[in-house]
Chain A
Amino acid sequence: MRNKLRAILLLAAGAALMGGCSSLGVKPWQRDVLARQDMQLNSEPLDQAIDDHMYFSKEASSGGRGFAGGGCGCN
């Protein structure tokens, strides 16, 4: 499984290199679609908070897009 994580890290490094490529991305006047509320990465924070609480209470893994916290986990 560590190998799997390393593979993902390599993918991440690749993505970072891609991110540095100036051929990606858009000009400021091309951000109309990106400006839509449903295109924001955290467009529904309360849905995510409620889902995260449910999954945190019932599963061994949590977090990923933010800090999950240790929690009590007593239910």
Chain B
Amino acid sequence: MQLNATRGRLIAASCALLGATAARSQDAAGAAADSPSTDWSVDSALAYYNESGRIKAIEPIVNISKDYGDGNTFSAQLTFDSLSGSTPNGALPSRQPQTFASPSGKSLSAAPTTYTTSSGTLVSESAPVYTINPGQLPMDPHYHDQRLALSGSWGHAFTRLLTGTAGGKFSYERDFFSLSANAGLSRDFNDKNTTLSFQVNNEFDSLSPIGGAPVAASDYALFEKGGGKTKDGVGAMLGLTQVMTRRWLTEFNLSVDRFKGYLNDPYKIISVIDAGGNTTGYLYEKRPGTRTRESAYWDNRAAWGRVSGDLSLRYMVDDWHVHSDTAQLHLRWWNFDRDRYLEPTLRWYRQSAADFYTPWLDSTAGYIGYASSDQRLAAFHALTYGLKYGVKLEDSEDQSSSELSVRLEYYRQTPDSARAAPGSLQGLDLYPGLKAILLQVGWRF
């Protein structure tokens, strides 16, 4: 029973993040973590995210978990995001001013819309358009959105060695709704030094773009838009967790997922450029209707005295021909009393471009196949530098009962390849990259 209780506690911690695999619920392959307790555990954080000159976001998040002490565990997580600011619309900078409509707009005219209400009042509303100065990256300055997400997970130990998990997630935005469910099994071997797990996930998404979903590859100026769209996906993951030594734990995951349906970004357009570098128009982007991703992920945890480290490597490839490499290192230094720690983090990321990524379209091109100028599908590399400071607080019985933490991260994305700009586009910053900071305050009790 004691083993079940401690094991269940691990499950609760592991499944706090919905979608965490059953493999991760077998952390330490049955090792006892802290003292067994049937109390509720609460983990909370408030994050502030700021992209230089672009999006700002506030994200409070809270997770509660409970180990029932009988092999059953429960975890739930509530997340709220509030985003606002400017977001690139996909078009290129130009030597000329460029006027765009916000997603709700129905024309590129800056003239106010005038109409008479049912009570006879004459109303004049400014047109939802914005103008970008020459040389500036076109960004919609009025982007704002809120997201509410709720997830839950249940774990059950069928036997001393076999554990099952089941979970679900609900996420709602003004223009997006997502529902997913997952289930998994994990089995311990070799005196609980080895854990093999398998988990599946099914997701259904409904998109209701503001102003309607544009017809893919249609002329931006024609405002050809329809109703809502859907997409759905399935995924599977095979995981292996192995205790290597008294101080080293390793995990290896192989995963595959496949999405089909509407995979476009409904708000992204592509500039059409002539040989002189002049913008002659814009088209909405067009992506394939399916995407299959495969990944291999390897994580290692090790500890030496008052230092612990976590090194993870990930390789991912998809049938859009994006392939990426990720390496992340956390090092945590505890003080002598083990009630404070400092944790620097370094993350390196590199991806190739999707085969249909193009920063612009040539005006002389005929049939438009798949095309997107979304920078997230371009070739780039990114570095994240982070530092976290944590303090454990003691209760009246001098037992560690809660933890306060502050985390700061700096993220920088740098484009890796650039197509030679024609004519008047030369000299403009067509690939500006991205810089962002993240500040997070956490409280766990």
Contact residues in A for B28 (Cβ distance below 8 Å): 31, 34-35, 39-41
| A-contacting 9-mer, from B16-24, B66-74, B360-368 | B16-24
Per-residue 0/1 for B51-95: is the Cβ within 8 Å of any A Cβ (1 yes, 0 no)? 000010001010100000000000001010101000100000000
Dominant SS at the B interface? strand
In the bound complex, do residue A61 and residue B324 qualify as a contact, i.e. CB atoms below 8 Å apart? yes
Contact of B14 with A40 in the complex, beta carbons under 8 Å: yes
Bound CA–CA A6/B433 (angstroms): 32
> What separation, in Å, do the CA atoms of A49 and B201 have in the docked complex?
17
Chain B 422-445, CB within 8 Å of chain A: the 1/0 string? 000000000000101010101000
Tell me, yes or no, whether B44 is within 8 Å of chain A by CB.
yes
CB-CB under 8 A from B265, the residues of chain A are: 73-74
Q: B119-165: which residues lie under 8 A (CB-CB) from chain A?
A: 143, 145
Q: Are B13 and A42 in contact (CB under 8 A)?
A: yes
Q: Once the chains are docked, how many angstroms separate the CA of A53 from the CA of B193? A: 32
* Residues of B190-223 contacting chain A, CB below 8 A: 190-194, 199, 201, 203, 205, 207, 209
A residues 11-45 touching B (CB-CB < 8 Å): 11-12, 15-16, 18-20, 22, 24-28, 30-43, 45
B4: Cβ under 8 A from any A Cβ: no
Verify A64–B308 contact, CB threshold 8 A. no
CA distance A73 to B434 in the complex (A): 16
Answer whether A66 and B17 are a contact pair too, CB < 8 Å, given A19-B190, A25-B194, A41-B301. Answer: yes
A40–B332 Cα distance when bound, in Å, is: 13
Give the Cβ gap from A31 to chain B, nearest Cβ, in Å: 4
Are A35 and B296 touching (Cβ within 8 A)? no
Query: Chain B contacts of A22 at CB under 8 A?
Result: 190
Contact B295 A67 (CB under 8 A): no
Report the minimum CB–CB distance from B175 to chain A (whole Å): 7
Contact A67 B194 (CB under 8 A): no
Interface size of A by CB at 8 A reads: 61
Contacts of A61 in B (CB 8 A): 293, 295, 314, 316, 318, 322, 324, 326, 351
Interface centre among A15, A24, A26, A70 (most CB of B within 10 A): A70
B370 CB-CB contact with A under 8 Å: no
Residue tally, chain B, CB below 8 Å to A: 116
Assess A72 versus B173: contact at CB under 8 Å? Given A35-B34, A40-B33, A60-B322.
yes
Interface string of B297-324 (1 = CB under 8 A from A): 1110101000010001011111010111
A38: B residues at CB distance < 8 A:
303, 308, 332, 341
Interface membership of B250, Cβ < 8 A: yes
Within 8 A of A (CB), among B347-374: 349, 351, 354
**A35 x B241 contact (CB < 8 A):** no
Contact of A15 among B19, B145, B252 (CB under 8 A): B252
CB distance from B25 to the nearest CB of A (A): 8
Q: Quick check: is B31 within 8 A (CB to CB) of the other chain?
A: yes
Contact partners of B193 in chain A: CB under 8 A: 19, 24-26
Contacts A41-B251, A60-B324, A61-B295; A25 near B440 (Cβ below 8 A):
no
B242/A15 in contact, CB under 8 A: yes
Considering the complex, give the chain B residue whose CB is closest to the CB of A14: B252
- Are A45 and B20 CB-contacts (below 8 A) given A8-B296, A34-B246, A36-B303? yes
B14–A58 CB distance below 8 A:
no
| Inter-subunit contact A67/B249 (CB<8 Å) | no
By beta carbon, the residue of chain A nearest B413 is A58
Kindly state the separation between the CA atoms of A51 and B201 in the bound complex, as whole angstroms.
21
Residue among A37, A47, A59 making CB contact with B376, cutoff 8 Å: A59
Q: Mark B165-192, 1 if CB is under 8 A from A, else 0.
A: 0000100010110101010000001111
**Residues in B whose Cβ lies below 8 Å from that of A40:** 10, 13-14, 27-28, 33, 301
Contact present for A54 and B49 (CB under 8 Å): yes
**A24-B193, A28-B191 as given contacts; A65 in contact with B312, CB under 8 Å:** yes
**B55 in complex: contacting residue of A47, A51, A75, CB < 8 Å:** A75
B20→A74 contact, CB < 8 A: no
Closest CB in chain A relative to B377 CB, distance in Å: 6
Counting chain B CB atoms within 10 Å of each CB, the highest count among A1, A61, A71 belongs to: A61
Contact of B269 with A by CB under 8 A: no
The 7 A-B pairs at the shortest CB distance, nearest first, are namely A25-B193, A64-B297, A45-B16, A72-B176, A67-B19, A34-B31, A61-B324
A contact residues vs B (CB 8 Å cutoff): 1-2, 4-5, 8-9, 11-12, 15-16, 18-20, 22, 24-28, 30-43, 45-55, 58-61, 63-75
A sample of 5 inter-chain contacts (CB < 8 A) reads A45-B13, A65-B21, A67-B199, A69-B203, A72-B205
